[in-house]
Amino acid sequence: MKKKKNIGIVAHDNRKKDLIEWAAYNWQELAPHRLICTGTTGKLIEDMIFEKCRANEIIPPEIVRLKSGPLGGDQQLGALICEGGIDILIFFWDPMQPQPHEVDVKALLRIAVLYNIPTASNRSTADFIVSSTLFHKQYDPILKDYSAYIKREVDLL
């Protein structure tokens, strides 16, 4: 994980307001990094952060907007994690509302755990991540070797 992080950002509809409030509070911590967001969340983040950066004469971060979560954005984030393109995942998901793409949400969270990506699913955890002394430093996460699992599956075939 390089000093400049690739931060995946996504929020379910009922949590977008919470995420934007969190990002507005932490915009200075986020500005030096690359933000990779799904659909509408990306547009909201982009508008808010660009406004803050312009007002403070700071160069805004690169913001990449993927598809909406239900249209494949969650899967795009998962693929980026697998390819080493996401260092941190901020995912404010709604535990009270069933999602039509629940299987994609579960898959994204599974991939984040599999690849040992710091993941925040609520504001408190997101605050801890961006306030960590590791947030602006190079960090090399330890990846578990899953080759034994793969070998066992192949042997079963």
Active site members: 74
Task: Give the end-to-end CA distance of the chain in Å, rounded to a whole number.
Answer: 36
* Torsion (CA) 90, 93, 95, 99 in degrees, nearest 10: -150
Strands (DSSP E) found in the chain: 6-11, 34-38, 63-66, 88-92, 119-120
Give the integer Cα–Cα distance in Å for 38 and 77: 8
* One-letter identity of residue 41: T
**Residue 13 structure tokens:** 């509809």
Strand, coil or helix: what is 60? coil
- Closest C-alpha to 86, from 94, 77, 95: 77
- Closest C-alpha to 101, from 122, 79, 75, 120: 75
